[in-house]
């Protein structure tokens, strides 16, 4: 099993949706991230500099989501995975994204995995 950092239930405000009317209003999506850091957990010497700062990851995801409206959650997912792999010491990211838009459902969403 790989050492993994988990961010579960990150609430991300953004404008997303295919119809213009849907994108006009802010929505809250929930994201779940699993990050495999370049360095395993042993030997971190209790130093944040030796691992992935999950607070910074969460803030950066929110910043990226707020940059512009998007039509597809798939587009947002690709952008988030690419950003995390490029900007943080991570070799693998698993992203789950939940959008609360369809009646009679808990959510619609996606799950994707990308590696550096």
Q: In order of start, what are the domains of the chain with their CATH numbers? A: 5-115 (3.30.1130.10)
Model confidence, pTM:
0.95
**pLDDT at site 43:** 85
Condensed to tens digits (0 to 9), the pLDDT of residues 53-96 reads: 999 999 999 999 999 999 999 999 999 999 999 999 999 999 99
Pick from 37-46, 94-103, 107-116: least confident = 37-46
**First vs last C-alpha separation in the chain:** 18
Spell out a b/e string for 39-57, using b for 16 or more CB atoms within 10 Å of the CB, else e. eeeeeeeeeeeebbebeeb
């Amino acid at each position: 099993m790989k050492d993994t950092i988990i961010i579960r239930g990150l609430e991300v405000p953004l404008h997303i949706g295919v119809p213009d009317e849907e994108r006009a209003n802010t929505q809250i999506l929930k994201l779940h991230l699993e990050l495999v850091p370049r360095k395993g957990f042993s030997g971190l010497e209790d130093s944040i500099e030796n691992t992935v700062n999950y607070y910074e990851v969460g803030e950066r995801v929110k910043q990226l989501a707020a940059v512009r409206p998007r039509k597809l959650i798939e587009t947002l997912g690709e952008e988030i995975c690419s950003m995390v792999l490029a900007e943080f010491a991570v070799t693998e990211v698993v992203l789950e994204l939940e959008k609360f838009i369809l009646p009679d459902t808990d959510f619609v969403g996606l799950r994707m995995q990308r590696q550096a």
